[in-house]
Amino acid sequence: MAPAQPQQVNLSPAELSFLRSTLAQSPPIRFDHTKGPKDFRSMRAEYDVLPGANGSARIALEDGTEALVGVKAEVEKSQWRPALEERGSLLSVVAGDMEMRDADDEEDAKGKGQNSWIEMSVEIPGFRDDDPLPVFLASMLTESLLASGELKDTLYINSRFHWKLYIDILLLSPPLSYPLALLSMTTHLALLTSRLPALKSERDEDPLFDDDWDAAVFLYPKNNGKASAETPQDKPPVIVLAMAVGPNIIFDPCMEELAVADAVLAVACANAPSSTAGARIVSIRTIDPPSHLTPPGVPNSMNSATGGTVPASSAETLTQRELLATSGVWTPPRGGMKRALISQVVKMVAEKGGVAEEVISALQTIEFG
């Protein structure tokens, strides 16, 4: 489970109780009254902002939270690892050495990439690199990128060399809300616009690249901004944040909304193999909402400072806590997320025309103008 939100909201128990009741009603009234349950905060996005990088992007949300991502690629020499795999080739063993002889005179990079070829770092103002929040964010983002194996296989050059991809993520402002979705969208746009120099050498020769940057190839191949059912366009994964409040599911919650969430789910998704199938779920993680750490409101009958009496025993305290649910004051939610609720969130994200497809299409529109 992911660490909770880095900041607590300065709301009283009465304000928290009122906010939760408005979010739990049907239809829900969000903190920003103009937004619906599936609406995202407006953002300003741009790419190719770092001239010395292979790809870069910058996204700023309407609340002032801003992220910058730079992608840098370097050529490294691969460490030889014996593998008894046959991918369209013939395997022969001569004098204890294994040689791969390609029957079609072409090398297939599928399955030859390694996870270590992608290195990601996340920097957040006010946090150390080894703090739980940056560590989890980097782990979640890396996990979504490595899930399909397509990106790491793209970094394969030949049996002796490969690309090493460095993804540096910087949150330019203190986190005003949980930053996972923002960092994911910025990384998505940076990778979508990243390019590698065109390779001029062949097979196992020392890699020789074209100096013309206009001839560089995209890390994620383009198809003129469109994808057909036969050749769907590949795109980097993106993470969508969803929270549950009562019977309602709300996407892209702000800091105040997260403060009263019953459960929070981070869903990483990518484009489906077919353009008619919606989105493909890559990974799912639960986020521990800050409401689990918020102390409950105390009614006057239990507050000695206002003339009430404090419960005498711990058993009575527990009983009184359970009674707080009907007392009209703030009661932090307990428990995890039910399977039916997870299934409902996944369906809303992955279905054709769902949330994930809308987010990925919007980010791609930024690139193609």
Q: How far apart are CA 156 and CA 164, in angstroms?
A: 9
Which CATH number is 13-80+102-294+330-368 given? 3.30.230.70
AA identity, residue 135: V
> SS3 for 5?
coil
- Asked whether the predicted pLDDT for residue 101 surpasses 60, the reply is no
What does pLDDT average to over the chain?
79
Residue predicted with more confidence, 296 or 318: 296
When pLDDT is averaged across residues 292-313 and rounded to a whole number, the result is: 67
- Asked whether the predicted pLDDT for residue 138 surpasses 60, the reply is yes
- Asked whether the predicted pLDDT for residue 192 surpasses 60, the reply is yes
pLDDT at site 34: 80
pLDDT at site 231: 42
Give burial (CB, 10 Å; 0-12/13-18/19+) of 32. Answer: middle
pLDDT at site 367: 65
Q: 307: pLDDT confidence band, cut at 50, 70 and 90?
A: low
Q: 317: pLDDT confidence band, cut at 50, 70 and 90?
A: low
Give the chain's count of helices (H) and strands (E): 8, 13
Q: In b/e form, how buried is each residue of 111-128, taking b as 16+ CB within 10 angstroms?
A: ebbeeebbebebebeebe
When pLDDT is averaged across residues 88-113 and rounded to a whole number, the result is: 46
Residue predicted with more confidence, 202 or 277: 202
Q: How far apart are CA 267 and CA 284, in angstroms?
A: 5
pLDDT at site 87: 41
Alpha-carbon Rg for the chain, nearest whole angstrom, is 25
pLDDT at site 184: 94
Residue predicted with more confidence, 113 or 149: 113
- Asked whether the predicted pLDDT for residue 114 surpasses 60, the reply is yes
For residue 71, what are the CA distances in angstroms to 50, 170, 325? 9, 12, 49
Length of the chain: 369
Name the E strands within the chain: 43-47, 55-61, 66-77, 89-94, 97-102, 118-123, 161-171, 195-196, 217-218, 238-245, 248-251, 263-271, 279-287
- Asked whether the predicted pLDDT for residue 98 surpasses 50, the reply is no
Q: In b/e form, how buried is each residue of 149-187, taking b as 16+ CB within 10 angstroms?
A: ebbbbbbbbbeebbbebebbbbbeeebbbbbbbbbbbbb
When pLDDT is averaged across residues 17-32 and rounded to a whole number, the result is: 88
When pLDDT is averaged across residues 319-332 and rounded to a whole number, the result is: 60
Which of 180, 288, 176, 282 is closest to 241 using CA atoms?
180
> SS3 for 59?
strand
* Residues 247, 238 contacting (CB under 8 angstroms): no
Q: How far apart are CA 227 and CA 275, in angstroms?
A: 7
Q: In which residue are the tokens 């062949």 written? A: 202
Q: How far apart are CA 28 and CA 155, in angstroms?
A: 46
Q: How far apart are CA 159 and CA 254, in angstroms?
A: 47
pLDDT at site 328: 62
When pLDDT is averaged across residues 223-250 and rounded to a whole number, the result is: 73
Of all residues in the chain, the percent with pLDDT exceeding 70 is 74
Cis peptide before 27 (omega within 30 of 0): yes
pLDDT at site 103: 35
- Asked whether the predicted pLDDT for residue 313 surpasses 60, the reply is no
Residue predicted with more confidence, 308 or 60: 60
